[in-house]
A and B are shown apart, each in its own frame.
Chain A
Amino acid sequence: MISHWLIGWISQLGRCLRPRADGCSCPHASAFGQRWLRLSSAAAVRMGRARRQELGVILSLSPQEVARLADLARIELSLAEQERLAGQLDVILAAVAVVGPAAQGDIRPTSHPLPLVNVFRPDVLAPGLGQADVLAMSPAQEGGRFKVPRILEEEA
């Protein structure tokens, strides 16, 4: 089972390292990729399958899952796009999964390079954008307001 998973992992990473079908390949990118491959594979081996599941890391996205994500992101995707993206996202997700094992232990997460504080401007009246300026770039407007398509779905 573990060996089966490892083969899958390496073949996914290998996909990005193979010479391209048109014969055009970049020796630097490929040497680079091999270094990346070693780092990622080593990390994966260290992580182990059980831990990987516990962390919720998956290494294969189906076109259907991509379609679901596209739905959440409000982007219409063709079937061909779903399939192409599934393959590409697999490779990317496999590569970025190295953060999992590295982030074990009591490490404070950093969301921002600066300590964020609430900032207030002086409470001074100043002119804002006028209605005409705000509406000027709207795709459609009516009666001084944004005109949008209906926001309720058709009743069944």
Chain B
Amino acid sequence: MTGLADLGAAELADLLASGQVSSVEAVQACLDRIEAADAAVGAFLHVDADRALAAARAVDARRAAGADLPPLAGVPVAVKDAFAMTGAPTTCGSRLLEHWRPPYDSSVVRRLQEAGLVIVGKTNMDEFAMGSSTENSAFGPTRNPWDLGRIPGGSGGGSAAALAAYEAPLAIGSDTGGSIRQPAAVTGTVGVKPTYGGVSRYGLVAMASSLDQPGPCARSVLDAALLHAVIGGYDPKDSTSIDAPVPDVVAAARSGDVAGLRIGVVAELGGEGYAPGVEQRFHEAVALLEAAGAKVSEVSCPHFDLALAAYYLIMPSEASSNLARFDAMRYGLRVGDDGSRSAEQVMRLSRARGFGDEVKRRVILGTYALSSGYFDAYYGSAQKVRTLIGQDFTAAFERVDVLVSPTCPTTAWPFGERLADPLSMYKADLCTIPSNLAGGPAASFPAGLAPEDGLPVGFHVMAPPLAEDRLYLVGTALERALEPSGAPLAARLVGKELTL
């Protein structure tokens, strides 16, 4: 008999609804698992057991009173520490916000709570979501449960590792250039970046406002869809929220029917620079989908080769502007205020102390790209390339229903390997960035383990705006083809000793 922490959200929800399990038992099982494993994994920055158990008791009481509860009521969930939540710290992985407790809830947190989900804690991340390894967290890295000497991806490495370590069945992430999908890929979990505007950004600490998008993380495709349905949809508090119905992602995840679906393999996202095991598992996955009835063809998106360059101008530019709000005046870290220094001097010292290396690098890069004389050459050109990438997507989606590629060119790499070389770190997001620039939805699904190192490989699916259902159709088809028992890839980690 497996423990409650080993169950997925859909299974737990069934047991909760039928009264076989209480939310308190489910939440306690996760808290016990966190207690046992998180010293080694480091997925969480903050766990509030008392508050989580109180929320679980409240759900149990409502159920006992006969209330008609939403499908995931009582199920535990972990939230990336980039989302504002009252009564808890929201650090965004930064010293600058180490002691900040937000005076309001993000819309994502509010929707989780209204749907009866129980937030067990806030997960670790690269500082201000800047990174692909979670090594940039000011509070120490998160470790990959598949190999504790390796990175769990980033920036949402904490959410992905919490899932792979069975510390929570569901988690929330945010994706600016791949921060949901690349951690999902390297931890053998599922991560979905919805259409830009599909999930409210209200209360998400902003990095690059035209790219940031919250989304669901889970171990199985159906679990991700169930969470997606909870957090998705129009929010008047986010001026870029799309006022349209969320596609029926749960029905798509239950169906998994890809018969006749036209799948385009992106010619530019593969070949040299991609690990052999990543390529092998990717092509096997494509063959499995073809066997399930999908029609596969190769599609060229010639401007995708420029996406990384455009992204590393647009993202730092927006980030340098967004992070200007951290001025040490109204909230956050303030240092050097001894009466002798001016506000500007205090601001400079506080930002120097509060920001880590990667944040400084991107803020200064963005300041440069936006500065007079260089604006047209860098930011202006990057915006035009963004148009070209959008046109590539539009042309491709006239021929196919979804585009596919590996999620990340490699599997998880050892700690420290790319820290001194920012460009090599940035390249982890090569395949995921185009969808952020164009705004369409995309997801990473487990595609098995690379033969050479036994580490998870991610299968990346991209769809046109508001066609999230296609992502889930493909995800479920792949999940069934790879594991007829329905067990998620991460199930191989159940029972694994996670100690340093």
Chain A contacts to B: CB under 8 angstroms: 16, 20, 24-26, 28-29, 31-36, 39, 55-58, 61, 66, 69-70, 72-77, 81, 85, 88-89, 91-93, 95-100, 102-103, 107-114, 116, 119, 121, 129, 133-134, 136-140, 146, 148-154
Question: Across the two chains, which residue of chain A brings its CB closest to B436?
Answer: A113
Contacts of A96 in B (CB 8 A): 309-310, 312-313, 378, 382
- Whether, in the assembled complex, B41 has its beta carbon less than 8 Å from a beta carbon of chain A, the answer is no
Q: Give the contact stretch, choosing among B48-56, B421-429, B472-480.
A: B421-429
Interface range on chain B: under 10, 10 to 19, 20 to 34, or 35 or more?
35 or more
Q: A-facing mask of B387-428, CB < 8 A → 1, else 0?
A: 110100000000000000000011001101110111110110
A29-B418, A31-B272 known; A74+B423 contact, CB < 8 A? no
Contacts of A152 in B (CB 8 A): 342
Contact status A76-B348, CB under 8 Å: yes
Question: Across the two chains, which residue of chain A brings its CB closest to B271?
Answer: A35
Contact status B438-A73, CB under 8 Å: no
B92 CB → nearest A CB, Å: 14
A77 to B416, CA, bound (A): 23
Q: Give the contact stretch, choosing among B180-188, B214-222, B369-377, B489-497.
A: B369-377
- Whether, in the assembled complex, B15 has its beta carbon less than 8 Å from a beta carbon of chain A, the answer is no
Contacts of B368 in A (CB 8 A): 61, 69, 89, 93
- Whether, in the assembled complex, B103 has its beta carbon less than 8 Å from a beta carbon of chain A, the answer is yes
Known: A99-B313, A111-B383, A138-B330. 15 other contacts (CB 8 A): A16-B421, A32-B427, A32-B430, A33-B273, A73-B320, A74-B344, A92-B312, A92-B423, A96-B378, A110-B390, A113-B439, A133-B103, A137-B331, A139-B333, A151-B343
Contact status A16-B342, CB under 8 Å: no
A75-B352, A85-B364, A139-B332 known; A114+B313 contact, CB < 8 A? no
Partner of B352, one of A77, A108, A137: A77
Number of inter-chain CB pairs below 8 Å = 228
Partner of A85, one of B329, B360, B426: B360
Contact status A75-B360, CB under 8 Å: yes
Contact status A28-B274, CB under 8 Å: yes
- Whether, in the assembled complex, B299 has its beta carbon less than 8 Å from a beta carbon of chain A, the answer is no
- Whether, in the assembled complex, B110 has its beta carbon less than 8 Å from a beta carbon of chain A, the answer is no
Contacts of B410 in A (CB 8 A): 26, 28-29
What are 17 A-B contacts with C-beta separation under 8 Å? A20-B421, A29-B424, A55-B376, A57-B377, A69-B371, A70-B360, A74-B324, A74-B344, A89-B364, A96-B310, A99-B309, A99-B382, A102-B384, A103-B388, A109-B380, A137-B330, A139-B333
A113 to B318, CA, bound (A): 14
Contact status A69-B422, CB under 8 Å: no
Partner of A75, one of B101, B363, B438: B363
Contact status A16-B388, CB under 8 Å: no
Contact status A99-B378, CB under 8 Å: yes
A77-B352, A129-B103, A151-B343 known; A109+B423 contact, CB < 8 A? no
- Whether, in the assembled complex, B147 has its beta carbon less than 8 Å from a beta carbon of chain A, the answer is no
Contact status A102-B385, CB under 8 Å: yes
Q: Which of A36, A96, A98, A102 has the most CB of B within 10 A?
A: A96
Partner of A66, one of B364, B421, B430: B364
A73 to B321, CA, bound (A): 9
Contact status B348-A75, CB under 8 Å: yes
Contact status A111-B210, CB under 8 Å: yes
Contact status B343-A149, CB under 8 Å: yes
Contacts of A26 in B (CB 8 A): 410, 413, 417-418, 424
- Whether, in the assembled complex, B322 has its beta carbon less than 8 Å from a beta carbon of chain A, the answer is no
A151 to B345, CA, bound (A): 10
A74 CB → nearest B CB, Å: 5
A137 CB → nearest B CB, Å: 4
Contacts of A32 in B (CB 8 A): 272-273, 409, 424, 427, 430
B427 CB → nearest A CB, Å: 5
Q: Which 7 A-B pairs have the closest CB atoms?
A: A113-B439, A32-B273, A109-B383, A139-B334, A103-B381, A103-B384, A76-B352
